[in-house]
Chain A
Amino acid sequence: QQQVKQSPQSLIVQKGGIPIINCAYENTAFDYFPWYQQFPGKGPALLIAIRPDVSEKKEGRFTISFNKSAKQFSLHIMDSQPGDSATYFCAASQETSGSRLTFGEGTQLTVNP
């Protein structure tokens, strides 16, 4: 069974803090690792994605760190804002086969003003 383990389940930070969400995967054939942001009543929206040939990727305030040997990747949100309060999902897939995404369990992030 392909699995992606995500932690923590929930996270509360103050405005300006740097929440970090971690994911670990088992299948070494995975080669595409996206993060999705989901607000209540909405579908997941792609936030940022990384491939295993790089160890870090930044887009605005969002950074993915990737550790291929440990089979782990994490999302960092710099200067977090109350508007970042949402549920975040990591995922993984095997691009070469066009396979479906395998999702982590999700992290509910609350950023207090």
Chain B
Amino acid sequence: SAVISQKPSRDICQRGTSLTIQCQVDSQVTMMFWYRQQPGQSLTLIATANQGSEATYESGFVIDKFPISRPNLTFSTLTVSNMSPEDSSIYLCSVVFLGQYYGYTFGSGTRLTVV
């Protein structure tokens, strides 16, 4: 399994500002995902981060609000733009290994509070 480093681990941000979350993986992975976990809730997929092309967003999530970059096979960023208190959540990066060692690994998450 991969080791995922996610930064920052937590932040408190002002309404209307933006925060960029970084996800660094210790090995090359084909697929990276960004999830949101609202307080006391399950995980909801925001988007699949595609290397070298635009991210694929799930229903209810748009690029203007959650722009994603994936410049290479080990790194991705998620930006939460023009934040409101409703964006207060844990944001998680995840990767999947295909083939013999198929499985999903998650980062420790970024706990975001918008005030």
Question: Which residues does A use to contact B, with CB under 8 Å?
Answer: 32, 34, 36, 41-46, 49, 89, 91, 93, 95, 98, 100-101, 103-106
Contacts and interface: CB of A to CB of B under 8 A. Distances in A.
Contacts of A89: 42-43
A34 B41 CA distance: 18
Chief secondary structure at chain B's binding surface = strand
A95 B42 contact: no
Contact of B104 (A42, A46, A104, A105): A46
B45 interface: yes
Interface string B13-43: 0000000000000000011010000000111
B55 interface: no
B42 A100 contact: no
Contacts of A32: 102
Given A98-B96, A103-B43, A104-B42, A46 B103 contact: yes
A17 to B, nearest CB: 24
A45 B106 contact: yes
Contact of B42 (A42, A93, A103): A103
Contacts of A105: 41-42
A3 to B, nearest CB: 11
B42 A101 contact: no
B89 interface: no
Given A41-B111, A100-B33, A49 B103 contact: yes
